[in-house]
């Protein structure tokens, strides 16, 4: 059944896609931004497909047409109204048929490519950008705790404030009410924080955002235990007029901003390790070698990283910088050499080992280092 992809599922799908070995039939990797609707996305795909048709012929063209047909059918039949981004990986081959659609509540950039293996860079970036987190929305009448998982929301807990709904003057004198109200209010907040703590622990969440009525959120902030303050990303004022969608949008921008800050600090760590001859390498070749040895703690890559193609021997896994004659590997003499997209190969290697990847939107320092580097867990002499 079509559904919105969660962060956990995305991790699994990346492992699957990164593990696919190339076969004679190339993969069609299709990414579509659906914020302007289905019709506009289909038009964008059509334009890009027309261009690809001009460089394909024979069986490759037939396979491509079949894949594009499948993607179109899927979009027309199974697209959910809340989907903002679609990724579709297709290989239409009689024996090695493979179709994987993924719908997301967050947008993806438009992209349609043909390559021997699935192009997963955009998925890797998504996984890096959108960590799961909890949002606590608090008004004077109720408190709601929502989990945001790759932009998709699910309410985890909901609680009405009984003290506030109590009527004054029937059974209670005003003083009694205030006393009652005060006590109930405190235990109400205490209960809510208890629930919040349990949800954070249970869901293994590292981030929390509090939104709502400024008076109430200030009260909550005051009684928040240290363990929760360390996870609190921000507190945002909202009013009853704000829709839940608007509130979630606002929290998503906070998350993206936080992720950019994290990127900058990871780049700083990389530079520090390079300066002190610590556990780090830079450059695609060294990064690929270390990834293959399983030594990498984090792969750090510029979003705009776009190096010249290199050649890779699939028998001995060595990269070759200039086109080898007759596609023969100078290292092991086998004929299993093919041109590769370095950016894809780097994230594919990382994806196979579930190694964290930090995609850096912009960094002059990282540009100067060539656009790619790795923090290492340990180092062996190669």
Rounded to 5 degrees, φ, ψ at 202 are -65, -40
Cβ proximity to Zn ion, 40 vs 319, nearer residue: 319
Cβ proximity to Zn ion, 84 vs 318, nearer residue: 318
Smallest gap from Cβ 316 to Zn ion, in A, equals 3
**Number of residues this chain uses to bind Zn ion (CB under 5 A):** 6
Smallest gap from Cβ 339 to Zn ion, in A, equals 14
Cβ proximity to Zn ion, 211 vs 329, nearer residue: 329
Smallest gap from Cβ 337 to Zn ion, in A, equals 7
Smallest gap from Cβ 18 to Zn ion, in A, equals 21
Q: Tell me the two tokens of residue 364.
A: 């002059």
Residues 107, 113, 115, 117, Cα dihedral to 10° = 20
Hey, CA dihedral for 301, 303, 308, 313, is it positive or negative? positive
CA distance 361 to 233: 20
Residues contacting residue 138 through CB under 8 Å, at least 6 positions apart: 144, 192, 210, 211, 212, 213, 216, 217, 220
Smallest gap from Cβ 338 to Zn ion, in A, equals 11
* Three-state secondary-structure class, residue 362: coil
Q: Tell me the two tokens of residue 110.
A: 């438009």
Q: Are 346 and 299 in contact (CB under 8 A)?
A: yes
Q: Is 335 in the site for Zn ion (CB under 5 A)?
A: no
- What is the 8-class DSSP label of residue 136? E
Round the CA-based radius of gyration of the chain to a whole number and report it: 26
Cβ proximity to Zn ion, 86 vs 329, nearer residue: 329
Q: Is 332 in the site for Zn ion (CB under 5 A)?
A: yes
Smallest gap from Cβ 345 to Zn ion, in A, equals 15
CA distance 269 to 274: 9
**Among 61-69, 199-207, 315-323, 352-360, the segment contacting Zn ion (CB under 5 A):** 315-323
Q: Is 310 in the site for Zn ion (CB under 5 A)?
A: no
Smallest gap from Cβ 292 to Zn ion, in A, equals 13
> CB 170: neighbour CB atoms within 10 A?
7
Smallest gap from Cβ 318 to Zn ion, in A, equals 5
Identify the helix (H) or strand (E) that includes residue 236: strand 232-237
Smallest gap from Cβ 312 to Zn ion, in A, equals 9
The mark string for 185-224 relative to Zn ion (x by CB under 5 A, - otherwise) is: ----------------------------------------
Q: Is 329 in the site for Zn ion (CB under 5 A)?
A: yes
**Among 166-174, 294-302, 324-332, 361-369, the segment contacting Zn ion (CB under 5 A):** 324-332
Cβ proximity to Zn ion, 94 vs 326, nearer residue: 326
The single residue among 16, 44, 93, 331 that binds Zn ion, judged by CB under 5 A, is 331
> CB 115: neighbour CB atoms within 10 A?
14
Helices H / strands E in the chain, number of each: 12, 16
Q: Is 313 in the site for Zn ion (CB under 5 A)?
A: yes
Tell me the CA end-to-end span of the chain in Å, nearest whole number: 47
Q: Is 316 in the site for Zn ion (CB under 5 A)?
A: yes
Q: Are 328 and 334 in contact (CB under 8 A)?
A: yes
Cβ proximity to Zn ion, 150 vs 320, nearer residue: 320
Q: Is 327 in the site for Zn ion (CB under 5 A)?
A: no
Which residues here bind Zn ion, judged by CB under 5 A? 313, 315-316, 329, 331-332
């Amino acid at each position: 059944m079509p559904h919105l992809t969660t962060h956990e599922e995305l991790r699994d799908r990346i492992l699957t896609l990164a593990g696919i070995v190339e076969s004679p039939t190339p993969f069609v990797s299709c990414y579509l931004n659906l914020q302007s609707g289905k019709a506009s996305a289909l038009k964008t795909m059509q334009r890009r497909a027309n261009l690809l048709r001009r460089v394909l012929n024979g069986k490759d063209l037939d396979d491509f047409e079949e894949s594009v047909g499948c993607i179109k059918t899927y979009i027309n039949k199974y697209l959910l109204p809340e989907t903002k981004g679609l990724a579709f990986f297709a290989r239409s081959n009689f024996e090695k048929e493979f179709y994987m659609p993924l719908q997301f509540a967050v947008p993806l950039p438009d992209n349609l490519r043909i390559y021997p293996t699935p192009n997963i860079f955009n998925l890797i970036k998504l996984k890096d950008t959108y960590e799961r987190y909890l949002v606590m929305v608090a008004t004077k009448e109720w408190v709601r705790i929502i989990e945001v998982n790759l932009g998709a929301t699910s309410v985890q807990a909901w609680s009405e404030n009984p003290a506030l709904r109590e009527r004054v003057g029937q059974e209670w004198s005003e003083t009694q009410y205030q006393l009652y109200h005060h006590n109930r209010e405190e235990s109400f907040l205490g209960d809510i924080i208890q629930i919040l703590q349990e949800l954070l622990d249970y869901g293994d969440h590292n981030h929390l955002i509090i939104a709502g009525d400024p008076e109430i959120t200030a009260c909550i902030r005051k009684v928040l235990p240290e363990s929760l303050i360390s996870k609190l990303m921000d507190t945002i004022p909202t009013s009853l007029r704000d829709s839940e969608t608007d509130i979630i949008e606002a929290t998503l921008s906070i998350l993206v901003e936080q992720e950019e800050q994290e990127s900058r600090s990871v780049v700083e760590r990389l530079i520090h390790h390079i300066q002190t001859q610590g556990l780090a390498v830079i450059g695609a070749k060294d990064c690929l070698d270390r990834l293959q040895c399983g030594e990498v703690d984090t792969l750090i890559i510029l979003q705009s990283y776009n190096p010249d193609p290199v050649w890779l021997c699939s028998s001995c896994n060595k990269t070759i910088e200039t086109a080898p004659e007759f596609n023969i590997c100078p290292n092991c003499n086998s004929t299993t050499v093919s041109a590769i997209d370095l950016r894809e190969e780097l994230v594919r290697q990382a994806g196979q080992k579930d190694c964290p990847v930090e995609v850096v939107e912009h960094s002059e320092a990282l540009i100067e280092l060539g656009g790619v580097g790795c923090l290492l867990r340990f180092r062996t002499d190669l």
